[in-house]
Amino acid sequence: MPVLASLLFGAALMQEKSNLSAAYDACLARARGITVEVRACTSQEHRRQDSRLNATYRELMRRLPESRRAGLRDAQRAWIAFREAECDYRGEQQGGGTLQAVIIDSCWLSFTAERADQLQHALEFEREYGD
């Protein structure tokens, strides 16, 4: 089962891999597909990505004119609700067991890294073209 989980986990993140840290890649290599270790690596990387997302969000909110902040805040809240529902749904497809937890963890990581990138692009746009 650890090998299957590792393969599925790796495939699920292939597209987003460039968003993730080199430390995460190294951690996964050391984990050798052992589920508990893969989950620990994923949790650590999720914290990194979540910190990146939050820092970018805060800076973007500071740069936006007051009239656009509520829109970003509402979008972020909707995104959080979507991420939770979507990742739960993906995990439930596994019907329990350790693979379900790995799928949910990897989903949270993928969505968080992707959203951090989206916010980073928005921030770069504001830096370039904002008021």
What is the predicted pLDDT for the residue at 18? 61
Residue pLDDT, tens place only, 26-80: 999 999 999 999 999 999 999 999 999 999 999 999 999 999 999 999 999 999 9
CATH number for the domain harbouring residue 103: 1.20.1270.180
Give the pTM: 0.84
**Angle (nearest 5°) at CA 98 between 87 and 1:** 120
Specify the pLDDT at position 19: 86
Q: How many domains is the chain built from? A: 1
- Rounded distance between C-alpha atoms, residue 53 and residue 31, angstroms: 26
Q: What is the pLDDT of residues 87-101, one digit of tens each?
A: 999 999 988 888 999
Q: Is the pLDDT of residue 8 over 60?
A: no
Contact 28, 41 (CB under 8 A): yes
Q: What domain range includes position 60?
A: 2-129
